[in-house]
Structure 1
């Protein structure tokens, strides 16, 4: 069987806990997922792609999806591959699909969130790096579908959130989405009235945001203080009690100065 050249391997995402290291890696135009048991390699190797890649076992040049790497009782590396399909986003309402590997990443905000170049302009790519991220991306895609449907019906109203540009795919499966990049700064207590009005508009659509920290309101002061809401990972269907609590929390959230909820740019 032909093996994949290690010189072509790029680790796109990694997450390491006490039991396993999880890796999302690109080889050519395909993406594969590795799980490596704790103790297979030393901690430095598990954390540093340039140390890990040379020590990986040979990776078959075939359409496998996942590989589990461990050591047998004699200490030799063993690996098991699977071709089982990976979970994907089911709320696929937009007509556009974009291969995530074709986007040029220009900035990393946090795991699974990058600024990219799309059609010659900056955009925001948000993806499920691993299987446990699928649920939050699913929820956010659902929330955007509701806002997009409302905006299509009422095109003269200002948008509540950035424009949803399309779904992102990897090996053909939907695992993220692409957003318009909105320039702005976090809201402050002086923006309370405008933030409250925007949040009430969201509630009228039947949605709870779920995380109304000041960094999830982006204020564009250059173009007349327009505001957009972002990060709908905790969105829910409307509950009147939760809606009231969300509105009541705004003064404290907008006055918050500790940086809780802020994006760390890497």
Structure 2
């Protein structure tokens, strides 16, 4: 991950959010999930920036952004995205969210009233209940996990993220995902963001998906064991006029496993005239 650097800094209520921008053309904002960072969106950013101006950042408590002890829940991530959209002076961009990023872009639209031209969500955290057995166990026992020796912590994180993929991840990818969660600050931040995860943040908006009027594309890894495809099918039924496309031989980390297929579908969706 040493070559993945977010060049810019934004002050959000006294906490630093690191961000970047690439390309020219229509504005597109892309938001990562957990336990990832913008590093895991690098393939999408690279491919989409050939045709669009792509804005990306690390969520509070993730990647290169502020990892101090504080609120990193879904309850603050939509506030941070709202502030960034204002800072970037973007009105009606195309917005893409993966995992927690999906929940964040939904909340920013439904609760903060931010307008999008079109919306793409990739295996989003959107339908209750959610959370893997490991995720829910850590959620209840943060202190016990955060006190583990570094080498055990890194092994745990490595084993955990591998379950998000359908196939094998290469070592460079694994190391890039783990790196932000190393060291004392990184280790504490990893367990903090899980401990602060709460289903109430999706419960607040689940009943409002029917109010989404913008063109919406739902992309899903067919073999996602973290958030099964059935959740995507239910979400598709809740958002009027939304389109669900599944990606074969991919899991929750479809953004790492099948980025070219995602880029193709996203570009087709963006260029299609809105009804």
Common fold: TM-score over 0.5: no
The two structures have a TM-score, normalised by structure 2, of: 0.25
The two structures have a TM-score, normalised by structure 1, of: 0.26
Query: As a proportion of its length, which structure holds more helix?
Result: 2
Query: As a proportion of its length, which structure holds more strand?
Result: 1
